[in-house]
Amino acid sequence: MSEEKLDAIIVGGGLAGCSAAIVLAKAGLEVLLIERGDYCGAKNMTGGRLYGHSLEKIIPNFAEIAPIERVVKKEQVSLMTKDGALDIGYRSAKLSSEPENASYTVLRGEFDTWLAQQAEEAGAMLLAPILVDKLLVEDGKVVGVEATGDQLYADVVILADGVNSLLAQQIGMKPELEPHQVAVGAKEVIRLGEDVINERFGLRGNEGVSWLSCGDPSDGNFGGGLLYTNKDSVSVGVVATLSDIGHSDLSVPEMLDRFKEHPAIAPYLEGGKSIEYSAHLVPEEGLAMVPELYRDGVLLTGDAAGFCINLGYTVRGMDFAIESGRLAAEAVLRARELGDFSAQTLSYYKTLVDNSFIMRDMKQYKGFPTLLTQRAIFEDLPEIADDIAGKLFTVDGKPGDSVIMYAVNLIAKRTSARELVDGITKILEAF
Ligand SMILES: Cc1cc2nc3c(=O)[nH]c(=O)nc-3n(C[C@H](O)[C@H](O)[C@H](O)COP(=O)(O)OP(=O)(O)OC[C@H]3O[C@@H](n4cnc5c(N)ncnc54)[C@H](O)[C@@H]3O)c2cc1C
């Protein structure tokens, strides 16, 4: 590899890294994107739904040319017990009515490969598979990276190396992850065929479903199940918070098996063929885990910066990753104009992030991580919902309480008035 100094080195060919590379390469900078996987997306995982608005800013109408799987037109959330599920479904013309509010199911292998191609077509150089071992630091300033024994220099390094970001940890920009800050996700892609999916899920053409659930899938653990429809397959997964996994006797892969066998899920998967299995960490602590975003010569983006929120009814990290990659690139372009890559100049990145939807949403939902550690949501709520729905929809001619009295007694048996008020207050605070 050459000894010459590049304009920018980006570590990590996920969504954050590829987005930064596209913007910088389009502006004419000499950009090197380094990915440790055999190809971009090889090591990446997501549940399945990409909110399109942030990529629209970089590649308008990208869905017309990108390998998206389906357009999400149907939302479903379920509270699950061992053998029951209370579903809330939503279908409306409002969902994905225009590119700016559309969301798409994606498979990262194909999608990230395509996004990296966009970066290469814009002029970025891609090195894969190459693992960056460390950052080069001179006089407190990041000046490049070391990979497979080679030293590569650049004005600035953008870290887009995912949730662990060992490189940011090496230079003390972020601490080691703690178990309560991350969840483990395990996911299987099951091929069913396009027509079978449309028929079973009540879809037409390229319409897709996003289906999240809590309760039984994670065996009462903090976490939940997910199911997204792809073109001819479905992504089925379970997410469980690391610090809470000991609460259940089940491992995460066993939780996934249990989810697939649940009576509300199994009929949809019947006859399917498993074609992919993956596991990954999800940053879950929200605003509280966002580290330093910049230092002399270096910026942190995407999951590496903790930009992800789990709202129970949806998980969002991909739109944050893309936006933060774009904003990091904007900050680098300004630093280049000023000829100064010091922390002071690169602090413009934080200003951009603070004024973007990333921080607005991370702040708005900062109470969610605490809410999602309420065991009542994963244990009591699904059971109560199941009992009440069972009462409501069962007619057996026997005497008994009205549904309202039945519900009041049921809730009183499981929780005190004080816990109930606390719980409702936490829910209100979280929104
Ligand atoms: C189970 C699960 C479900 C999720 N569901 C959703 C969802 O439905 N919607 C949503 O928006 N978000 C979801 N997320 C979150 C989303 O997937 C992430 O927020 C997003 O992928 C972050 O993108 P990124 O580019 O920052 O990091 P990543 O996609 O992790 O990319 C990091 C890249 O850096 C590379 N890399 C790491 N270290 C090095 C190194 N030293 N040298 C070279 N390369 C390196 C990796 O190989 C990888 O390609 C989910 C996550 C999980 C795990």
Q: In angstroms, rounded to a whole number, what is the distance separating the alpha carbons of residues 391 and 81?
A: 15
pLDDT of residue 400: 77
The answer to whether 5-68+106-175+291-355 and 180-283 have equal CATH topology is no
Q: For ligand 1, is residue 279 a contact (CB within 6 Å)? A: no
Residue 202 pLDDT > 60: yes
Residue 278 pLDDT > 90: yes
If we measure between CA atoms, which residue out of 402, 78, 90 comes closest to residue 264?
Answer: 78
Nearest CA to ligand 1 atom 41: 132
pLDDT of residue 187: 97
If we measure between CA atoms, which residue out of 255, 257, 259, 201 comes closest to residue 229?
Answer: 201
Nearest CA to ligand 1 atom 22: 303
pLDDT of residue 1: 47
Quick check: 52 and 102 in contact, CB under 8 A? yes
- From the CB of residue 72, how many other CB atoms can be counted at a distance below 10 Å? 24
Q: For ligand 1, is residue 223 a contact (CB within 6 Å)? A: no
**Residue 426 or 1, more confident:** 426
Q: Which of 97-106, 214-223, 353-362 has the lowest mean pLDDT?
A: 214-223
Q: For ligand 1, is residue 369 a contact (CB within 6 Å)? A: no
Confidence of residue 229 (pLDDT cuts 50, 70, 90): very high
Output the CA 198–ligand 1 centroid distance in Å: 29
Output the CA 19–ligand 1 centroid distance in Å: 13
Mutation test residue for ligand 1: of 53, 318, 361, the one with most atoms within 8 Å of CB: 318
Q: For ligand 1, is residue 10 a contact (CB within 6 Å)? A: no
Question: In the structure encoding, which two tokens stand for residue 367, read together?
Answer: 């109470």
If we measure between CA atoms, which residue out of 388, 380, 430 comes closest to residue 405?
Answer: 388
Segment 162-188 mean pLDDT: 95
Q: In angstroms, rounded to a whole number, what is the distance separating the alpha carbons of residues 155 and 407?
A: 64
334-387 pLDDT per residue, tens:
999 999 999 999 999 999 999 999 999 999 988 777 766 666 777 778 888 888
Q: What percent of the chain stands above pLDDT 90?
A: 74
- From the CB of residue 271, how many other CB atoms can be counted at a distance below 10 Å? 9
Domain extents in the chain: 5-68+106-175+291-355, 180-283, 371-430
3-state secondary structure of 312: coil
Q: In angstroms, rounded to a whole number, what is the distance separating the alpha carbons of residues 205 and 188?
A: 23
Q: For ligand 1, is residue 35 a contact (CB within 6 Å)? A: yes
Segment 58-75 mean pLDDT: 97
Q: Are strands 85-91 and 49-51 parallel, antiparallel or unpaired?
A: unpaired
If we measure between CA atoms, which residue out of 238, 262, 209, 241 comes closest to residue 371?
Answer: 241
Output the CA 251–ligand 1 centroid distance in Å: 22
pLDDT of residue 231: 98
Q: Which of 22-26, 224-228, 244-248 has the lowest mean pLDDT?
A: 244-248
Q: At what angle do helices 15-26 and 108-122 cross, to 10 degrees?
A: 20
Ligand 1 atom nearest to 228, measured from its CA: 8
- From the CB of residue 272, how many other CB atoms can be counted at a distance below 10 Å? 19
Q: In angstroms, rounded to a whole number, what is the distance separating the alpha carbons of residues 268 and 48?
A: 17
Nearest CA to ligand 1 atom 17: 46
Output the CA 162–ligand 1 centroid distance in Å: 5
pLDDT of residue 420: 67
Q: What percent of the chain stands above pLDDT 70?
A: 95
Residue 431 pLDDT > 70: no
User: What is the CATH T-level fold of the domain 5-68+106-175+291-355, as seen in this structure?
Assistant: FAD/NAD(P)-binding domain (3.50.50)
Q: What is the pTM of this model?
A: 0.94
Ligand 1 atom nearest to 307, measured from its CA: 19
27-42 pLDDT per residue, tens:
999 999 999 999 999 9
Q: In angstroms, rounded to a whole number, what is the distance separating the alpha carbons of residues 81 and 401?
A: 23
Nearest CA to ligand 1 atom 51: 46
- Average pLDDT across the chain, whole number: 92
pLDDT of residue 136: 98
- From the CB of residue 77, how many other CB atoms can be counted at a distance below 10 Å? 18
Residue 413 pLDDT > 70: yes
Output the CA 110–ligand 1 centroid distance in Å: 14
User: What is the CATH T-level fold of the domain 180-283, as seen in this structure?
Assistant: D-Amino Acid Oxidase; Chain A, domain 2 (3.30.9)
Ligand 1 atom nearest to 12, measured from its CA: 34
Confidence of residue 80 (pLDDT cuts 50, 70, 90): very high
Q: Between the CA of residue 390 and those of 95, 266, 341, what are the distances in Å? A: 31, 21, 63
Nearest CA to ligand 1 atom 27: 162
Q: For ligand 1, is residue 325 a contact (CB within 6 Å)? A: no
If we measure between CA atoms, which residue out of 66, 59, 152, 139 comes closest to residue 104?
Answer: 66
Nearest CA to ligand 1 atom 39: 161
pLDDT of residue 40: 97
Output the CA 44–ligand 1 centroid distance in Å: 5
Q: For ligand 1, is residue 300 a contact (CB within 6 Å)? A: no
